[in-house]
Amino acid sequence: MTPTPARPHLRIATEEAFAPPEMIRLYEKILAGSDVDPGFKGLMGFYMSSPSERARHIMRCLQDLDEVRLAHMDEAGIDHQVLALTAPGVQIMDTDTAVSFARFANDFLADAISRHPKRFSGMLTLPVQDPRAAALEIDRGVRQLGIRAAVINSHTHGQYLSDPKFWDIFAAAEQHGVPIYLHPNSLPRNMIEPFQECGLDGAIYGFGVETGLHALRIITAGVFDRFPRLQMIIGHMGEALPFWSYRLDYMHQATVRSKRYESIKPLLKKPSDYLRENFHITNSGVAWEPAIKFTQSIVGVDRVLYAMDYPYQYAVEEVGLLERMDMSAEDKKKFFQTNAQALFGIGPL
Ligand code: MN
């Protein structure tokens, strides 16, 4: 293996997953129930029961926030992880359980950060099922736990944040300056079949399609006209949305003019303007120079950040690949370090 080059910057990985053992016990109960969500069963049901080396590695690493994880970070040359409760987090739970477990998980996360403050920061888990409780948890998380970002694992039981009934969450996030990471979830019941029958429902393709759709729904619903200071984060090179920008702008304008859909209303700006002004994009799962540089050219070098997607994509050699990108030292430092420090409020390390 080619050694990872020395570098004049720190490396902050911004989409790194964990799971308290208590959540795995809860998931076991959900999976043992009747009428289990097919996407959840296909994803966590697989990881929690497969004897494969990859699945067992992931389950072990997800539940460790001390020796194992720190050793892997040292091995890969990762100075700091921004942690998020693994998908689907509390969004697969019933509403009451989601509200109480979100508090537990956020306290659990704050404990890990206080044990290793130079190595970890995090994102709050939100019980999206109860938008007012989720808004209160943002408030509690910022004030009591000092956590300054939040994660939402795409749809919640097939419902999307484009619905104004969820907008208390956006109001609280905007008010507190808390960026929301829109992370993939397994596909909802009414979408999964044509993906699952060919084995393409997961991280290979389905996650990106569904999360990209969700981000676009948020844009076209006018969320950023209502909450102009709100910042969101999407992984996996923006779930391909930067690549779609030209067509999205052209067809959005054409669709507004045609008055074909009640739900497509005029916006103050073009869809791509919101990508540039209200989104940050991480390269989680995509250690690929052309896609990273293209995205920088669309949304700007201040809005593209490094992420590993540990432990799902623990690929040490990718760090070296990214260090060897043909990119100025200044822009590389933004990508690996300073954009994340600014966005997540991470102090000197
Ligand atoms: Mn991830």
Strands 180-183 and 12-18 turn out to be unpaired
Q: How far is the CA of 255 from the centre of ligand 1 (A)?
A: 33
pLDDT band at 167 (very low <50, low <70, confident <90, very high): very high
Task: For residue range 70-117, list pLDDT tens digits in order.
Answer: 999 999 999 999 999 999 999 999 999 999 999 999 999 999 999 999
Sequence-distant (6+) residues with CB within 8 A of 157 are 37, 91, 92, 129, 188
Query: What is the spatial distance between Cα 139 and Cα 137, in angstroms, rounded to a whole number?
Result: 5
Q: How far is the CA of 197 from the centre of ligand 1 (A)?
A: 23
Q: What is the pTM of this model?
A: 0.97
Q: What is the mean pLDDT of residues 211-231?
A: 98
Amino acid at 130: D
Helices 289-299 and 316-323: angle between axes, nearest 10 degrees: 60
Confidence check: pLDDT of 61 > 70: yes
Q: Which of these is catalytic: 66, 309, 326, 331?
A: 309
The verdict on whether omega for the bond into residue 88 sits within 30 degrees of 0, i.e. cis, is yes
User: Residue 331 catalytic?
Assistant: no
Sorted by where each starts, the structural domains of the chain and their CATH numbers stand as: 12-344 (3.20.20.140)
pLDDT reported for residue 3: 63
Q: How far is the CA of 309 from the centre of ligand 1 (A)?
A: 5
Closest CA to 240 of 283, 287, 176: 283
